[in-house]
Amino acid sequence: MGGFSIWHILIFAIILLLLFGGNRFSAMMGDVAKGLKSFKQGMSEEEEDKRQRHEDQRRSEPRQLPRDSARPDEPIDVTPRPAEPMAPPPRDDEAR
């Protein structure tokens, strides 16, 4: 009840074939297939173009290290800094 059975689908398919005809229906499905194929090809070409532009840009630009904008003429300081001491947690009698 309420669902489509195989008979409903077959009757619907026969009505579609009668309305559109076998040749016209297959031509429409062929056009749909060509459209999908063209769409996929266009998407892959666009993706390939984007990848190629990225590779060209990456190769043409010299690699630069990030610099501190406040001091552009000074060399970059890479010495490790000691960890800052942490304050001890408060005792229970100090928290109240």
Tokens of 96: 């109240």
pLDDT of residue 37: 94
| Virtual torsion, Cα 61, 65, 71, 74, nearest 10 deg | -110
What are the residues whose beta carbons fall under 8 Å from the beta carbon of 28, sequence distance 6 or more? 20
Domain ranges of the chain: 24-59
pLDDT tens digits along 5-35: 899 999 998 888 888 777 777 788 889 999 9
pLDDT of residue 69: 57
Does the pLDDT value for residue 36 go beyond 90?
Answer: yes
pLDDT tens digits along 66-85: 555 556 677 777 888 888 88
The end-to-end CA distance of the chain, in Å, is 71
> Can you give the three-state secondary structure of 33-85, one letter per residue?
HHHHHHHHHHHHHHHHHHHHHHHHHHHHCCCCCCCCCCCCCCCCCCCCCCCCC
Tokens 């010495």 label which residue? 79
